[in-house]
Amino acid sequence: MDSPHACARCESLFGPQRHSLKMWDGKRYCVECINTVSPELLAWAREHTFLEETLALKAISRKKYYKNSYLYPMIGAIVIIFAPFSLIGEFWWGFVFSSFFCGWFGLIFLLDLKFDFAVNKAASELPRTLVVQNNQLIIVHEDDSHIYDLSELYYYESDTDRTTDNLYLENRPALILEKKPRWNWQRFVWEEIRYACGLTPEKRELWSSFFQLIELPRKEMSSPRSYHFKITVLVMSFLLLSLAIMVINYRVFFMLITLLMWIIPLQALSTAKRLSTKVVTVCGTLLTNGFVFYACVSRNPIHAGLFCLAEMCLFLVAVFYIRKRLKQNPD
């Protein structure tokens, strides 16, 4: 029953003895139902026509950004590259390749320290305000905004490490609003809609009470031990499969890695705001693939250069295809 003359929760008709209040999901609820869920929610709803919360720029953590951005990739490069080469007897090859990738990450790390990318990245997205009004979740930035239907979301209790901006956001308990992630073939990106709200105990109680009132679906999170076990199994399976392919035919292994490498610049073209970021990502991918081609497949620098040229041509074809799809369907 969804009637403007009846409570959306208990379905009781409104009248002189049963007052109603329109909440931020666009529906009307009786005062008794709202007060039963939370008296604080009732007091807030009477004074505010929408529910909002702002994440300020001071919430960022530079230390966390640099740790998450470069420590784990460097460890991953050592494990993925050094371990397989050591197992098949090429110890020094594994050492050389690992040193190359760690040096690459280290150079980018020094550039980030110089330009302070943590602050620049956060400043482009913060302050961020979450607004709930007329059954819509509105994400307001300084430059743009995004709107999602509230009925398409679910929530759960976690910390801000679960959000998409967890690289620089200081970790704290929160409620996470999330939409089922999916791969967007038109923009060639993995879309993750996941925002943190209730960053203080008072706000968390307010958001939680509102979600309970409108009966927003709640997702039960798996334990951290189970989550890390699944990640470990996935990583080990990938390593074993990569090792098997490399032992059977290392050229096939190289081609698979090359294809995976181009996911990064394709995503940068559709998501990065600055032209310099797009150019650096593309050039970095070309240089990396060219170096690995020269080291693993052919000792001829001319062949490595021709391979990079062919890669660039295929990449441009993919770029124009994505651009055409975006023009046909900009949403």
Burial of 157 (0-12, 13-18, 19+ CB in 10 A): middle
SS3 assignment, position 29: strand
Burial of 34 (0-12, 13-18, 19+ CB in 10 A): buried
Task: From 164, 162, 171, select the one nearest 64 (Cα to Cα).
Answer: 171
In sequence order, the β-bridge partners of residue 103 are none
| Gyration radius of the chain over CA positions | 25
Can you list the alpha helix ranges (DSSP code H) found in the chain? 31-37, 39-47, 62-66, 72-77, 83-87, 91-115, 117-125, 201-214, 224-248, 250-261, 263-271, 275-292, 301-328
Q: What is the pLDDT of residues 31-63, one digit of tens each?
A: 889 989 999 999 998 888 889 988 777 777 777
| Cα–Cα distance measured from residue 57 to residue 169, given in angstroms and rounded to the nearest whole number | 9
Contact 292, 278 (CB under 8 A): no
Per the listing, tokens 């593309």 go with: 282
Q: Which of 34-38, 112-116, 162-166 has the highest mean predicted lDDT (pLDDT)?
A: 34-38
Q: Which of 10-24, 55-69, 225-239 has the highest mean predicted lDDT (pLDDT)?
A: 10-24
Whole-model pTM: value is 0.62
Q: What is the pLDDT of residues 126-137, one digit of tens each?
A: 778 889 988 889
Q: What is the pLDDT of residue 74?
A: 65
Contacts of 154 (CB under 8 A, 6+ apart): 177, 178, 179, 216, 217, 218, 219
| Cα–Cα distance measured from residue 27 to residue 324, given in angstroms and rounded to the nearest whole number | 41
For residue 75, is pLDDT > 70?
no
Lowest mean pLDDT among 129-143, 203-217, 255-269: 255-269
